[in-house]
Amino acid sequence: MPQTIAARIEADIEAQILSGTWPPGSRLPYEHVMMEQYRCSRMTVSKVLTGMSARGLIVRRRRAGSFVAIPNADRAVLQIEDFAQQALHSGQSYRHAIHHRSLRALRRGELTALGLATSGQVLEVHCRHELDGIPVAWEERLILVDAVPAIIDEMFLSIPPGTWLLQHVPWNKAEHVISAVNASPQQARQLSIEEGAACLELHRRTWLLGSLVTDVSLTYPGSRYRFSGCFSPGGPA
């Protein structure tokens, strides 16, 4: 069945966003530009943009145009952590250190664990986060290359993986699981704590339009970190 003009416009816009060509906050071409590009009516273009706005992929602003949506951390029960912003707000110094970075194929067990039907490449990254020179979190992350092609060339020299993703990749679904764990030998070494010490582990997955973007575990020393929040019966306060 031939693809409609509306479907083609929507597919093209999604491809630009998913590839990172248009990162969060980017302005989409004006409607009259798309009308000329696709040889269609303004009504067709407007209908496509309205639908994408309803799905949370773009934001339409009167007289300003349409923009790629910036991920809203408040959509999840817990805020997506940005250590650099946290340090800035608290007056602390922040530093991250990449201890492992490798591009590889997904393993069979990971396919099952991640609920994926087909294999593909992932970027595996291990990173330590420090505030005022003290380790506060150890990060182990998988980033799906199909969802974030631009990640292949990113070395995370200036910003950590989580911050890079927040700035470059939109998401519309997140899942958080918090567990109490005991520090493994590697975690203890990286966090400068005793092996077996009590820790909090935050396991998070984020998706965009049904496609998994990243799977990450953040381990925090129990004696140095706590999660807090304020809620009302109707939802987060």
Task: Read off the pLDDT of residues 28-47 as tens digits, 9 standing for 90 and up.
Answer: 999 999 999 999 999 999 99
pLDDT, tens digit (0-9, with 9 covering 90-100), for 105-121 = 999 899 999 999 888 99
What's the angle, vertex CA 155, arms to CA 152 and CA 157, rounded to 5? 160
CATH class label, 73-236: alpha beta
Q: Which residue has the higher pLDDT, 213 or 86?
A: 213
Structure tokens at 233: 């019966």
pLDDT of residue 77: 40
pLDDT of residue 49: 92
CB-based contact 137:183 (threshold 8 Å): no
pLDDT, tens digit (0-9, with 9 covering 90-100), for 121-178 = 999 999 999 988 999 999 999 999 999 999 999 999 999 999 999 888 878 788 888 8
Give residue 53's pLDDT band: very low, low, confident or very high (50, 70, 90): confident
pTM: 0.68
pLDDT of residue 227: 60
CATH class label, 5-68: mainly alpha
Give residue 236's pLDDT band: very low, low, confident or very high (50, 70, 90): very low
For every residue of 119-154, which 3-state class applies, written as one string?
CCEEEEEEEEEEECCEEEEEEEEEEECCCCHHHHHC
